[in-house]
Amino acid sequence: MKKLPRDLSGRQVIVALTRAGFELLRWHGSHCLLRRHDTVVAVPDHRVVKVGTLRRIIHDADLTVAQFLELL
């Protein structure tokens, strides 16, 4: 399994998910909600997204780690 970067910001995660076909649904406080078909993913707008949170976002987006890394 490939390792995830430990220094990704929330904005970088949002850009990667938009490349995967997600659309910005709305900002909700310090989180951004993105949608693709019936899947909604919440991404925190933090300077650094923790690795566990990032893994959960990737899982909720129905992506593999390898697919996500290609989108960066």
Per-residue pLDDT tens digits for 5-46: 999 999 999 999 999 999 999 998 899 999 999 999 999 999
Q: What is the pLDDT of residue 9?
A: 97
Total domain count for the chain? 1
Q: What is the CATH number of the domain that holds 31?
A: 3.30.920.30
Per-residue pLDDT tens digits for 48-65: 999 999 999 999 999 999
* pLDDT surpasses 80 at 2: no
- Within a domain: residue 36? yes
- Which range marks the domain in which residue 45 is found? 10-71
- Within a domain: residue 2? no
Query: Which pTM does this prediction carry?
Result: 0.92
Taking the CA atoms of 9, 14, 15 and 17 in sequence, report the sign of the dihedral they define.
positive
Q: What is the pLDDT of residue 1?
A: 64
- Within a domain: residue 66? yes
- Within a domain: residue 1? no
